[in-house]
Amino acid sequence: MNPRSTGAEHAITIAPSILTADFGRMADQVAQAEAAGADRLHLDVMDGHFVPNITFGPVLVAGLRRSSRLRFDVHLMIENPERYVEGFRDAGSDRIIVHVEATEHLHRVVEHIRSTGAETGVAINPATPIIELEEIAPFIDLALVMSVNPGFGGQSFIETTPRKIYRTRRLIDKWNPSASVGVDGGVDEETVASVVSSGADCLVAGSAVYNDRASVEANLARLRDAMKRAERMRSNSSADSLDA
């Protein structure tokens, strides 16, 4: 597969998700990711309705904002996200991500996010067809493919996700080549190659970064090494397709 041969090239970024971090020392956990060279920070907001879990609100985002220079991606896994756009933007969100499935008026919500000056992202759940992104694609900065069912960290990567990323990349390249394609859930050293080769350029990683096996720095280094290997493989694949 070579979905990127005609679309815009994007630098691949890693966004640690704090969902599996130690909430008792959150500022320190974020500082470790920043010191280790994380590109962005992914903050999962859950309401116990759209997903079966509850996490945090704008207050935590604002607290972390005061101590971090990372760009914040706030992922609203909540019903009626339009009610909270202003609050999370004021708290320091740089990109606000909403779900296709969470609102009846997606374009209105995306335009609302854009009006605040934040970047826009739209996520789709594992069983949601990518055609749901087609009409909104020209208006977003990120299409986020969920590779687990949202709600909890540490879940296993859904094995059919790479082909969904590939088709999403083709759709985005058709309607908005400047937009990124992200993947969220189960991203680790073993799955990086498949998601990068399929066209993902924003990798959200939670338990692969925050765990008891190694430090945040060591975990991010291993992810980055795996990512670089995948990028080389993709580049070689692109060169081979041009020579063919």
Q: Which residues are catalytic?
A: 44, 184
User: How far, in whole angstroms, is CA 166 from its chain's centroid?
Assistant: 15
The span from the CA of 219 to the CA of 188, in Å, is: 9
Sheet (strand 202-205) strand order: 13-16, 202-205, 180-184, 142-146, 119-124, 95-99, 71-77, 40-46
Instruction: State residue 144 phi and psi, 5-degree precision.
Output: -110, 115
Q: 52 Cβ partners below 8 Å, 6+ apart?
A: 151, 152
- Please list the alpha-helical segments (H only) found in the chain: 26-35, 58-65, 85-91, 106-115, 161-175, 192-198, 216-243
Query: Please, are residues 140 and 179 in contact by the beta-carbon 8 Å criterion?
Result: yes
Query: Please, are residues 216 and 210 in contact by the beta-carbon 8 Å criterion?
Result: yes
In eight-state DSSP terms, residue 98 is: E
Q: 70 Cβ partners below 8 Å, 6+ apart?
A: 30, 33, 34, 38, 39, 40, 41
